[in-house]
Amino acid sequence: MRDADAASVSRVLIEGDMMGIPTHGVLRLSTYIQRLTNGAVDPLAVPLLEHRAAALAMVDGRNALGPVVAEAAVRAGLKMTAKTGIAYVGCHASNHLGAMIPYALKAVDAGYVMVAGTGASATMPPFGGAAARIGNNPLCIAAPCPDAPHFMLDMAMSVAARGKIRMARDAGQAIPEGWAVDADGQPTTDPAKALEGLLVAVGGHKGSGLSMGIDILANVMTGAASLDKVGSWSDAIDQPQHVGHFFLFIDAGRLIGTDAFLAAMRQFRNTIHATPAADPDHPVIMAGEREQMLRAQALTDGVPVKADVLRDVRRLADV
């Protein structure tokens, strides 16, 4: 890959580990490289940005690695928002883009609200169904505060991500009941059976409906593959995913004034923090605070990586 593109991918993966999201950290490096060497992803692809209106743009990922596509979209979206106050950038012909919160960090650092999402291969049934048709499509909502920590929500639509189930399998551990069902639709605590079965949507019909909505915003509206047509990142190791993403940026300062918005966000954060805690040892915090705390700690103390993951990284570096 070109140095700049490799750096983009590396940054997103390392940020995942720094923020305490090891399922989307350098653990993914081995699969990324497998897909590159098997021809599923074009390492030299240059995403193409096409403006459709003052506040609308599309990025043709040209089958590049997802972080390369997503970073191109974020750069364009932030630049457009500085001019128009709002921007939607859709992406298609892309692949797995890692955790979404690293992109959110760029948005809040620029002073903008971000709403974003990505499609994913089908791992869940629609509510009431018995076959995988919808993806565990993540949703990210972020809003800047006058200073850190900022509000940054990054959540998938299942009770637990497949990455966590894979980690439990690799560690020889059971998973909690309610995370997944086996191939026969029965609840299971066996991670191997869970990976052969289906994930369970958070909140039943609510998580199912949110996944469908994100699929429309990220896949249908961008011309990407949708629902069960999205390729699997880990199972079809030699096939492109044809997945889509979307990034919506809003300059809230143009609505109520920057000072008023930041003052409101400070009050918002203070109100959350002032909530009496059910457990005094665990104060109430906003979404994303833990991740930002861990990131700050990692910048000082180093990035925690499991020994087996580090061995794999070193093995890849020697190839």
- Distance of alpha carbon 265 from the chain centroid: 24
Specify the residue for token string 């609505």.
Answer: 255
Whether domain 45-158+204-291 has CATH 3.40.50.970: no
Provide, rounded to the nearest whole percent, the portion of the chain with pLDDT above 70: 100
| CA neighbor of 101 nearest in space, from 6, 212, 217, 21 | 21
| CA neighbor of 191 nearest in space, from 176, 205, 202 | 176
Question: What is the CATH architecture assignment of 161-200?
Answer: 2-Layer Sandwich (3.30)
* Whole-structure pTM value: 0.93
| CA neighbor of 199 nearest in space, from 208, 76, 49, 289 | 208
How far is the CA of 52 from the CAs of 19, 110, 114, 123, 263, in angstroms? 35, 23, 20, 33, 35
Q: Which tokens go with 264? A: 């409101």
How far is the CA of 305 from the CAs of 32, 283, 290, 298, in angstroms? 17, 27, 18, 11
What ranges do the domains of the chain cover?
Answer: 45-158+204-291, 161-200
pLDDT in tens, 34-61: 999 999 999 999 999 999 999 999 999 9
Confidence of residue 288 (pLDDT cuts 50, 70, 90): very high
How far is the CA of 257 from the CAs of 49, 61, 85, 106, in angstroms? 30, 35, 12, 21
**Residue 280, class by beta-carbon neighbours within 10 Å (0-12 exposed, 13-18 middle, 19+ buried)?**
exposed
Confidence of residue 319 (pLDDT cuts 50, 70, 90): low
Residue 167: the pLDDT is 83
- Which range is least confidently modeled, 22-26, 227-231, 293-297? 22-26
pLDDT in tens, 246-285: 999 999 999 999 999 999 999 999 999 999 999 999 999 9
Rounded mean pLDDT of 114-140?
94
Amino acid identity, residue 247? F
Confidence of residue 185 (pLDDT cuts 50, 70, 90): confident
For residues 97 and 100, give the distance between their C-alpha atoms in angstroms, rounded to a whole number: 8
Catalogue the long-range contacts made by 265-273 (C-beta closer than 8 Å, 24 or more residues apart). Answer: 265/143, 265/144, 265/145, 265/146, 265/151, 266/145, 266/146, 268/145, 268/151, 269/145, 269/149, 269/151
75 pLDDT more than 70: yes
Preceding amide of 304 cis, omega within 30: no
Amino acid identity, residue 67? P
Rounded mean pLDDT of 79-102?
97
100 pLDDT more than 70: yes
pLDDT in tens, 163-181: 788 889 988 999 998 899 8
Rounded mean pLDDT of 191-215?
93
pLDDT in tens, 205-224: 999 999 999 999 999 999 99
**Nearest 5°: CA angle at 14, between 305 and 79?**
165
